[in-house]
């Protein structure tokens, strides 16, 4: 197949979260399976400073945006250690900025215009490049306009006349909601601004647009695909998603084991695999404790946390648990991340008050994230919701037992230890369902008791987790099946013109 991906992030060019990891790894795996894959993303300042070679294509892109024409250019690079071409849409007025979407806690006021331009630039680039396209795979709201453009304007335009579109929803909470007059920026007829297609409670909704017009949909875990069809996690789009359930699939994100593998990791104190995990983790734990100025205590459980400091990640549960456990339980905490100011302030105070128990690094360090995965005994993820999650997958590979809330991808990838799963040798960690500090605390106590008093069971958890395969090779094959579904849908489905009732 000839597959084109459009995304707002991809490592190593631009990253704010897991979307970038997916779009930096999945195209390479699809290419390994024999498919022709290319990738489009904006030429952000970070992309141009990524260190990857970038060259001009000579293609200029005059794009209509509302009543004006904005000119961009097409640059070309490639994904590292691959022949997958990366096309960068250059338009400095839109993309030469310090950040991708927001600064000083506020979204850029022209985000709708920036990503409408990107979507139209992708379509025009494909028309100019003239290479046949089978699949247009787009990601999240920033590219949600592309399936609509394909259906409405480019269905008969070579080389897109036989193309089908797939939209992957990485996090339904981010939808690209803009005021209704931004509809004029899209260049599409106002007739599509209706409750069945592009309108959402009086606003333009670009994620809803993609959901409605794409030939097939995916999200990043089977459980999350079910959860977003209900009111609790549907974010107002549950009815739209239920109407498209026949073409909605949940595919777990893969892990790039070239980057996340304790047997080859250059960032950790000792490399190790399943055969020497006890020795390797002991060395890595001592090194991490030393780096974080924690007492080097081999038998004290060390709990790792890496990521956003936000309620969505369960910090409203974690904060009271950490405060209680700092005085009542013999454990250490290693925290790396940034997020809401209230959690910055709280963690700084806790680290200052309990320096023997809590170490906090506010910021992000890729190398330290690797060392926490290797050195911690457990990795804690009590998320309110979690479309997929990657850190629990890294933890499994590193022999770091995950303690998670059973939601979304966490429920799909971590098997809770109980009598049944222990006997069947399927357990890989600890999980709980109730979103409460009490449930989290009880589960942590259960995990720490197992660590201290059942070393053989603990070793079984580690061994089982380390030998699992969550690589992109598995996920890529599921995407190929989804692409086939999209192609079949594209041949049978024509655009639904708005009815009088829907306008």
Q: Cα separations (Å) of 437 from 165, 263, 306, 314? A: 42, 35, 19, 9
pLDDT-derived band of residue 492, with 50, 70 and 90 as boundaries?
A: confident
Q: Are residues 177 and 315 in the same domain?
A: no
pLDDT-derived band of residue 18, with 50, 70 and 90 as boundaries?
A: confident
Distance CA(450)–CA(303), nearest Å, equals 14
Q: Are residues 210 and 287 in the same domain?
A: no
pLDDT of residue 458: 98
Element holding 445 (H helix, E strand):
helix 437-453
User: Is 229 in contact with 245 (CB distance < 8 Å)?
Assistant: yes
List all residues 6 or more positions away from 287 whose beta carbon is below 8 Å from its beta carbon: 268, 269, 270, 371, 375
Q: Quick check: 502 pLDDT over 70?
A: no
pLDDT of residue 503: 40
Distance CA(133)–CA(3), nearest Å, equals 6
Residue 260 domain flag: no
Residue 192 domain flag: yes
Percent pLDDT > 70 in the chain is 98
Top pLDDT among 256 and 144 is at: 144
Residue 43 domain flag: yes
Q: Which pair of structure tokens corresponds to residue 362?
A: 């506010």
Q: Which pair of structure tokens corresponds to residue 430?
A: 């600890």
pLDDT of residue 497: 63
Q: Quick check: 321 pLDDT over 90?
A: yes
pLDDT (mean) for 7-23: 93
pLDDT of residue 133: 98
User: Is 38 in contact with 28 (CB distance < 8 Å)?
Assistant: no
Q: Quick check: 104 pLDDT over 90?
A: no
Distance CA(430)–CA(420), nearest Å, equals 13
Q: Are residues 208 and 278 in the same domain?
A: no
Q: Are residues 313 and 461 in the same domain?
A: yes
Q: Quick check: 498 pLDDT over 80?
A: no
Q: Are residues 286 and 213 in the same domain?
A: no
Distance CA(320)–CA(324), nearest Å, equals 6
Q: Are residues 288 and 190 in the same domain?
A: no
User: pTM score, two decimals?
Assistant: 0.91
pLDDT (mean) for 167-195: 97
Q: Are residues 412 and 496 in the same domain?
A: no
Residue 145 domain flag: yes
pLDDT-derived band of residue 495, with 50, 70 and 90 as boundaries?
A: low
Residue 151 domain flag: yes
Which domain covers residue 411, as residue numbers?
A: 274-466
CATH of residue 322's domain is 3.40.50.2000
pLDDT of residue 364: 84
Percent pLDDT > 90 in the chain is 94
Q: Are residues 117 and 31 in the same domain?
A: yes
Q: What angle do CA 64, 170, 141 make, to 5 degrees?
A: 20
Residue 265 domain flag: no
User: How many domains, in total, are found in the chain?
Assistant: 2
pLDDT of residue 107: 95
pLDDT tens, residue by residue, 254-305: 998 988 999 999 999 999 999 999 999 999 999 999 999 999 999 999 999 9
Residue 263 domain flag: no
Q: Quick check: 154 pLDDT over 50?
A: yes
Top pLDDT among 259 and 438 is at: 438
Pairing of strands 248-250, 302-306: unpaired
Q: Are residues 385 and 498 in the same domain?
A: no
Residue 393 domain flag: yes
Q: Which pair of structure tokens corresponds to residue 265?
A: 């990791």
Q: Are residues 205 and 315 in the same domain?
A: no
pLDDT of residue 499: 57
Q: Quick check: 130 pLDDT over 90?
A: yes
pLDDT-derived band of residue 473, with 50, 70 and 90 as boundaries?
A: very high
Q: Which pair of structure tokens corresponds to residue 343?
A: 């959690």
Q: Which residues pair with 69 in a beta bridge?
A: 64
Q: Quick check: 186 pLDDT over 90?
A: yes
Q: Quick check: 183 pLDDT over 60?
A: yes
User: Is 371 in contact with 398 (CB distance < 8 Å)?
Assistant: no
User: Is 163 in contact with 211 (CB distance < 8 Å)?
Assistant: no
Q: Which pair of structure tokens corresponds to residue 431?
A: 């999980």
Q: Are residues 425 and 483 in the same domain?
A: no
Q: Are residues 378 and 243 in the same domain?
A: no
Query: Phi and psi (nearest 5°) for 317?
Result: -85, -40
DSSP code for 471: B
User: Is 447 in contact with 402 (CB distance < 8 Å)?
Assistant: no
What's the chain's average pLDDT?
A: 95
Q: Which segments of 196-250 are extended strands (E)?
A: 199-200, 203-205, 216-219, 248-250
Query: Phi and psi (nearest 5°) for 442?
Result: -65, -40
């Amino acid at each position: 197949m000839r597959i084109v991906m459009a995304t707002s992030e991809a490592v190593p060019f631009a990253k704010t979260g897991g979307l970038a990891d997916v779009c930096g790894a999945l195209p390479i795996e699809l290419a390994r399976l024999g498919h022709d894959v290319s990738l489009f993303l904006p030429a952000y300042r970070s992309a141009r400073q990524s260190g990857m070679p970038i060259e001009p294509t000579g293609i200029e892109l005059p794009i209509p945006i509302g009543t004006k024409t904005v000119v961009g250019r097409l640059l070309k690079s490639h994904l590292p250690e691959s022949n997958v071409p990366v096309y960068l849409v250059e338009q400095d007025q839109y993309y030469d900025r310090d950040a991708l979407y927001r600064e000083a806690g506020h979204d850029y006021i022209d985000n709708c215009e920036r990503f409408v331009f990107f979507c139209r630039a992708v379509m025009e680039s494909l028309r100019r490049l003239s290479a046949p396209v089978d699949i247009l795979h787009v990601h999240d709201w920033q590219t949600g306009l592309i399936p609509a453009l394909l259906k409405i304007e480019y269905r008969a335009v070579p080389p897109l006349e036989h193309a089908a579109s797939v939209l992957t929803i990485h996090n339904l909470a981010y939808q690209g909601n803009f005021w209704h007059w931004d509809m004029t920026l899209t260049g599409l007829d106002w007739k599509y601004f209706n409750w069945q297609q592009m309108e959402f409670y009086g606003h333009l909704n670009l994620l809803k647009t993609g959901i409605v017009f794409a030939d097939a949909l995916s999200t990043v875990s089977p459980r999350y695909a079910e959860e977003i069809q209900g009111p609790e996690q549907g974010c107002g789009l549950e009815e739209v998603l239920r109407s498209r359930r026949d073409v909605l699939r949940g595919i777990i994100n893969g892990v790039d084991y070239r980057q996340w593998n304790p047997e080859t990791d250059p960032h950790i104190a000792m490399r190790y695999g399943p055969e020497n995990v006890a020795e390797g983790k002991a060395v890595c734990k001592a090194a991490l404790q030393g780096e974080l100025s924690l007492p080097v205590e081999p038998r004290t459980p060390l709990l790792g946390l890496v990521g956003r400091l936000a309620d969505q990640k369960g910090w409203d549960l974690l904060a009271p648990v950490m405060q209680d456990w700092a005085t009542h339980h013999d454990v250490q905490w290693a925290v790396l991340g940034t997020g809401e100011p209230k959690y910055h302030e709280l963690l700084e105070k806790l680290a200052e008050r309990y320096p023997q128990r809590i170490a906090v690094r506010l910021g992000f360090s890729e190398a330290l994230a690797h060392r926490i995965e290797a050195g911690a005994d457990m990795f804690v993820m009590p998320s309110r919701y979690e479309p997929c999650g990657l850190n629990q997958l890294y933890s499994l590979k590193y022999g770091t037992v995950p303690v998670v809330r059973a939601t979304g991808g966490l429920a799909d990838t971590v098997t809770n230890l109980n009598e049944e799963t222990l006997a069947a040798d399927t357990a890989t960690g600890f999980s709980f369902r109730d979103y409460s500090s009490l449930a989290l605390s009880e589960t942590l106590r259960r995990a720490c008791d197992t660590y201290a008093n059942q070393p053989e069971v603990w070793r079984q958890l580690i061994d089982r987790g380390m030998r699992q395969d969550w690589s992109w090779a598995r996920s890529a094959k599921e995407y190929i099946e989804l692409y086939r579904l999209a192609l079949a849908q594209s041949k049978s489905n024509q655009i639904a013109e708005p009815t009088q009732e829907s306008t």
